[in-house]
């Protein structure tokens, strides 16, 4: 488990009046960033951008009366040096075009797209089908899972915020792989379901409420673009290469990430593995109480009833994290098949996007990383 570092030189002071900008403010992530930053006690200014002259309160009616208004992207670029942090909520390919100019002006950048998530530009090109146009920035981009990399984030100018599937899966699987109990040659089977907000705001018939309600919408089963990203970062925990079999779908809910993973246990470890042992490994990794990772909570409810009873409260649910920056994790063990089961849930717009970005901002600026984010699930 990592522990918070002391504030770096030039760290912000709570109440100092931070200036923030959101390039790409019309989407779900940009709207959620605006909502959370409005309640951040150290943030004085929020400048969201739009390209088409949209009215902020028509695009984000939940923020009616907030006083926020869209401005143009060029205005933010021209005044980049006046901002403490600029968030990039842009399509793939845009952040790598904008980041060099923003960094040159002296601001910090948190990229919520995939542009800086790979250290190797060839890996980005393989996953996204286009060359990387700012490869010189990749070595300094810090991968923004705060719980794993906060010391580097505290010194960073550029943070690559992970996506919702990846951050949920990494938090859910890291302790198990790091424990050495997993069979390294067996694929990690991950079934991941995302809310329809994960499909973005661009209208498509398939994700209309009338189409998705009462149904499921599987996609990218031929190979999801986030699988290589997962393999890269889970290899750090496993101590060697891993293969991720990632299956994804949109569920008939607006927001949330539900991940259920099956991990084969090493044959020589199967006799000693139990749910209690797995829970111990997760507590060792994430701690508990005031000394633990605040935003990672382990569901360790004891078993109730017999082996065939449906003990629902033994595992986390999406409802428990909606609207929050928490990741709830549950584990279990199938001894007959030698398989560990992991359930991890987050809100894809908060811990999976805007919330983790603000958590990273807090660390970059020397603030308590929970500032503005301590709200529990609805």
* Residue 327 designated active-site: no
Residue 83 to residues 51, 229, 358: CA-CA distances in angstroms?
20, 30, 15
* First-to-last C-alpha distance (Å) of the chain: 27
Find the catalytic residue in 154, 158, 164, 176.
164
- What is the H or E stretch that residue 277 is in? helix 275-286
Q: How far apart are CA 246 and CA 187, in angstroms?
A: 10
Structure tokens given for 258: 């539900």
**DSSP-assigned states of every residue in 81-138:** GG-SEEEE---TTTHHHHHHHHHHTT-EEEE-SSTTS-SSHHHHHHHHSS--S-GGGG
At a CB cut-off of 8 Å and minimum separation 6, what does 58 contact? none
Would you say 24 and 92 are in contact if contact means Cβ atoms under 8 Å apart? no
Distance of CA 147 to the CA centre of its chain: 11
Q: How far apart are CA 236 and CA 242, in angstroms?
A: 9
Q: How far apart are CA 55 and CA 21, in angstroms?
A: 17
- Give the catalytic positions in this structure: 164
């Amino acid at each position: 488990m990592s522990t918070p570092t002391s504030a770096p030189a030039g760290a912000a002071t709570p109440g100092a009046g931070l200036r923030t900008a959101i390039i790409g403010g019309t989407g779900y992530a940009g709207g959620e960033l605006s909502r959370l930053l409005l309640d951040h006690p150290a943030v004085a200014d929020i400048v969201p951008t739009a390209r088409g002259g949209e009215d902020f309160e028509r695009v984000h009616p939940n923020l009616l009366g907030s006083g926020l208004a869209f401005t143009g992207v060029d205005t933010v670029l021209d005044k980049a040096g006046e901002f403490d942090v600029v968030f990039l909520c842009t399509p793939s390919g845009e952040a790598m075009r904008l980041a060099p100019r923003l960094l040159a002006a002296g601001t910090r950048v948190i990229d919520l797209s995939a542009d800086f998530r790979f250290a190797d530009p060839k890996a980005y090109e393989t996953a996204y089908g286009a060359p990387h146009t700012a490869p010189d920035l990749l070595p300094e981009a810090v991968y923004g899972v705060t719980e794993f990399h906060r010391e580097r984030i505290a010194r960073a100018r550029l943070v690559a915020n992970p996506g919702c599937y990846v951050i949920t899966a990494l938090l859910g699987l890291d302790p198990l792989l790091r424990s050495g109990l997993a069979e390294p040659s067996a694929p990690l089977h991950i079934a991941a379901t995302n809310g329809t907000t994960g499909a973005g705001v661009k209208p498509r018939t398939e994700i209309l409420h009338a189409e998705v309600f009462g149904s499921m919408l599987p996609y990218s089963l031929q190979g999801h673009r986030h699988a290589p990203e997962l393999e890269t970062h889970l290899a750090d925990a496993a101590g060697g290469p891993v293969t991720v079999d990632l299956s994804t779908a949109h569920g008939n809910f607006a927001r949330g990430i539900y991940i259920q993973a099956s991990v084969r246990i090493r044959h020589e470890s199967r006799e000693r593995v139990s749910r209690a042992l797995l829970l111990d490994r997760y507590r060792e990794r994430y701690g508990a109480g005031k000394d633990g990772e605040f935003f990672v909570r382990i569901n360790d409810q004891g078993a109730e009833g017999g082996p065939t009873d449906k003990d629902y409260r033994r595992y986390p649910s999406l409802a428990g994290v909606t609207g929050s920056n928490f990741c709830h994790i549950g584990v279990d063990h199938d001894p007959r098949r030698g398989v560990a089961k992991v359930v991890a849930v987050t809100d894809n717009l908060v811990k999976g996007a805007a919330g983790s970005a603000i958590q990273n901002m807090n660390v970059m600026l020397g603030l308590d990383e929970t500032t503005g984010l301590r709200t529990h699930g609805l």
